[in-house]
Every structure is written in structure tokens, then in C-alpha cells.
Chain A
């Protein structure tokens, strides 16, 4: 089908009147806007889960197996207000071990990554080591830690460090590798070389991956720590949150067991919130993560 370019019939300019009474901007109803807030939707999920729990508890009516939500919250409040055996002390104990292991693990992961980014053999080392140890849960090296370091704080920190290193190193390495050739070349164009190039171009360029790695490293370390505290606490009778849960189970204080688990989950959620906040202020703000 061909159209003659100067055929006037094919050059119609429609005389469209400006429409009246058409709202080009319409307000969205407050309910829909409320529903669009992530926190609101998530709070609803929590409420629904708690409701199901409460109904299940009442229906089974076996408080030693499944205490009700209210009993659990009551136990949680008591544990947090108790004078001599306060849950807060257990939490502080766990957080000290967790942050020490996570901190050391992050530094080790950073060194491994810099080694891997700068040398071929370092890359091979990191890839081989991580693929070999990836299927191994950190708690599985507890027997070794027990032999080498005995039942001690050092063992706990060793295992939380171990649990941190690999997820963080893998993510950092992938992040560094993912920084575009152009961005690297831009950094060199500014005269940056070596470590200053790494610090000023590669690290911020890899930040989305680094954040993911830190997040996974921390939760991995936290999981390992709780499991470890359950094992070690049984031997020495002291420890952090994991031991709290174990000890309350032995005392048949079942609402307190649930309270301890709720506390563990709450701490996990707080970590998640902190990471989400940091991401919101950095990589999301910069359009590096959507």
C-alpha cells in the first residue's frame, strides 16, 4: 500500500475540541494508599499469623505443647523484667559473640576478596574454598572447634567468624567483578590506582552486592550461634539466647521457650530493618538497586 506524499486527503489535521469536565488528576482513595505502605501490609501478615497461632493453641488446648500467644507474650514480658535471670542478659551475651564473629569474619572476607580480585591464584583459592565449604553448615565444624579451642568463647567466635566469611566473601567478590569496565576506566582516568582505586571506585561500585553479602553473613552467623549456644550451654550451663531456649525447655517453662524463639525472630527482624534502612539511604537512593 503506497500513499502519494502530496495527496491532501492523507494530511488531515483533526479539529479536536478541548474536553470539558475531565479530571486529568484524580485522587486515590485513602484505603488504597494505606494498602500501598509496605509496613502496613507486613503488620497485617504478622497479625494474621498470630491469630492462626492463637486459634490453633485454643483448639488443641495443650499448653505444654503449644502455649497461647497471650501466655507467650506474658512470659516474654516476665523474662524481660525479671530481676535475677533477665532475658536481656542472654541477649547481650549473644550479641557480643555475634558482633565479634561477624566483625572478624567481615575483615577476613574483605582480605580474601582483595587477594582474589588482584591475583589469579587468589581467585582460584576463593572459588575452590567457597565451593568446598558452602554445603557445610557452620555448626558442623563444632567438633573441630571443640578439639582445638575447647568449650570457650574462642570456639563460639571461631564458628560465628566461619559462618560469616564465606557468604560475605562470595558476594564481595562477585560485586567487585560486576563493577563495569567503564567505571573502572573512569577511576583510572582520575589518576586512581591500587588501593585508592579499590576504596573509591570498586567498593562503592560493588556496594549492592556487599550489602547482600553482609546481610547473609550476619544471618548465617546468627543461626550458627543460636544452634551452638544450645549445644555448649548444655555443657556449661551458661550462654546466650540459644541456651535460654534450651534451659527453659528443660525447666518445662514452655511459654518461655516460645518467648525465647520470638525474641530470636524479633532480633532477626531488627537486623533486617537496619539493613533495609542502610540500603534505602545508599544503594536504592543511588539507583543501584531497585
Chain B
């Protein structure tokens, strides 16, 4: 793990428009991600965690502040930030498992032999060698998710972004997937930014946990997991931060929050 941050979010304010209004989803968020880290962005629904991930993905540009990857500002979506989504339809239905993993590599001009070797290697890593020639509709939810993870990692992206990938899976599959992801990340040394609303999931997977609170989405805590003596203690602290704003009635006026 090198000292220079790979991904840097500096005072980023991100908003999006609906038909009626402009919504400030993330307010002046700042954090860094180092190479090889597993950063968890944790928060309840509406806290702006997915919006923040979309901005890192390049789908939304911050209206204030900056997001930089390897020193360069993020301007648009790109394969250096491969994304694993929650949805079951994130695989191209007209391509087989192997073709799905191969496709982004082909588009990025990775040599054929190299791409094929990598595809086979990562399909094997997620245990889908026997299903490599099947189409996505023939796979279970967990298998589809494995393909998406293999597709993301095979690209060897600067950072792998994951948007609540396991939330739609059943509990048993989810637990298996968490452990597989940890193993894969260890083997590949990938950097991962992972959005979740599940405290336990963040505690299992994260090497660093950012806790966000809603209205507007702000970072409440940035915790280095290695500093905690036990997972129980970590969960207790994180739980405390997550439920911190349950009682106090926060003012939803954005300008006043910013002045503080």
C-alpha cells in the first residue's frame, strides 16, 4: 500500500435534478482512498451514498469541489472505474458469461490473447468455469453477481466501484459473496469503493468505513477499521454514528448547514 491517495474527493457537493426541484444529495464530502483499500460508504437510504458513488463513476459532476483519480479530475464514466451494480440486468443478455467478461476488455483494446486469458482466469476465480458458455438468463442471482465481479476485476481497474451489490441476494448467498469478495480482493490487491446500508456488511468487508447522514448527505465519520480491537467494538461505534441523528431534529436548510 503506497502513501499517495489513488482517489481523492475534496469538498465535493453533488446535486441532481428532478422534475420539481434540485436536490443536494452530497454536501462537501472529503475523503481519500489509497491503493488496496476497501472503502465502505455506509448510510441509510437517502444519505447520498449512491449519488457519491455515481459521481466517482463519472455519471454526475460535482457542482463544487473536486473528484480526482490518480491526480486527474473525473469527467465522465470510464472503464478505469468499473462498476458492479445491484441490478440483475447489469450483464448483457445477448452475451455469454465469457463474452460478458471479455467485452469491456475488447472495447478497451486489450490484446485478444491477453483478454481471453484474463477472462478465463477471473471466471475461474469466481468458480464459474463450467457456466462460461451460458447466457445470463440461465444463471442464478448469485452467479450473475459473480460474473459482474469477474468482469469488473478482469479489467484491472484503478478502483472497483460497487453499489450495494449484495443487497438483493438472499442471506446465505450474501454471506458467501462477502467472503469471496474478500478473498478476491486479497488475491488481486484491488482497490474497492463499496456502498452499503448494512453495518455488519461494512464491518466484515471494510478496511475503512465512511459513515454518511442524510439531509443533506454529509460524511459523519471516517473510520480506520484496523484501529479497532474487535469487530464488536467497531460495530458498536459505527452503530452509534449511524443512529446519532435519530433524536435531534435537524434543520433541512442547506445554506445554514454549510455555514456551520
Contact = CB atoms under 8 A, between A and B. Distances in A.
Interface of A: 180, 182-183, 185-186, 188-193, 200-201, 204, 207, 282, 285-288
B137 interface: yes
Contacts of B92: 183, 186, 201, 204
A190 B79 contact: yes
Chain B CB within 10 Å, residue with most, of A182, A183, A189, A204: A189
Interface stretch (B13-21, B103-111, B213-221): B103-111
B77 A185 contact: yes
Interface string B116-160: 000000000000000000011110000000000000000000000
Contacts of A288: 93-94, 137
Interface string B80-111: 01110101011011100000000110011000
Nearest to B91: A186
B135 A183 contact: no
Nearest to B104: A190
22 contacts: A180-B87, A182-B87, A182-B89, A183-B89, A183-B92, A185-B59, A185-B85, A186-B83, A186-B90, A188-B77, A189-B81, A190-B79, A190-B103, A191-B79, A201-B92, A204-B92, A204-B94, A285-B135, A286-B137, A287-B93, A287-B138, A288-B93
A191 B90 contact: no
Closest 6 interchain pairs by CB? A287-B137, A188-B77, A182-B87, A190-B104, A286-B93, A286-B94
A263 B218 CA distance: 72
A191 B76 CA distance: 9
- Residue with the greatest number of chain A CB neighbours at <10 A, chosen from B81, B82, B94: B94
Given A192-B107, A204-B94, A288-B93, A182 B85 contact: yes
Nearest to B148: A186
A290 to B, nearest CB: 9
A192 B92 CA distance: 14
B71 interface: no
B78 interface: yes
Nearest to B59: A185
A240 to B, nearest CB: 37
Interface of B: 57, 59, 76-79, 81-83, 85, 87, 89-90, 92-94, 103-104, 107-108, 135-138
Contacts of A188: 59, 76-77
B77 A180 contact: no
Contacts, number: 59
B135 A286 contact: yes
B178 to A, nearest CB: 22
A180 B138 CA distance: 19
Nearest to A182: B87
B233 to A, nearest CB: 30
A242 to B, nearest CB: 38
Contacts of B82: 189
A287 B107 contact: no
Given A190-B104, A287-B138, 10 more contacts: A180-B89, A185-B85, A188-B77, A189-B81, A191-B77, A191-B108, A286-B94, A286-B135, A287-B93, A287-B137
Contacts of B76: 188, 193
B93 A189 contact: no
A192 B137 CA distance: 24
Contacts of A200: 107
Contacts of A285: 135
Contacts of B81: 189
Nearest to A183: B89
Nearest to B79: A191
A152 to B, nearest CB: 42
A285 B138 CA distance: 10
A288 B135 CA distance: 11
B135 A287 contact: yes
A207 B94 contact: yes
A204 B89 CA distance: 14
Given A183-B89, A189-B57, A287 B136 contact: yes
Contacts of B138: 287
Contacts of B93: 286-288
A192 B59 CA distance: 13
A280 to B, nearest CB: 14
Contacts of A204: 92, 94
Given A191-B78, A285-B135, A287-B137, A186 B85 contact: yes
A146 to B, nearest CB: 44
B83 A185 contact: yes
A287 B93 CA distance: 7
A190 B78 CA distance: 6
Contacts of B57: 189
Nearest to B87: A182
B227 to A, nearest CB: 34
A89 B138 CA distance: 47
A156 to B, nearest CB: 36
A285 B94 CA distance: 8
B94 A189 contact: no
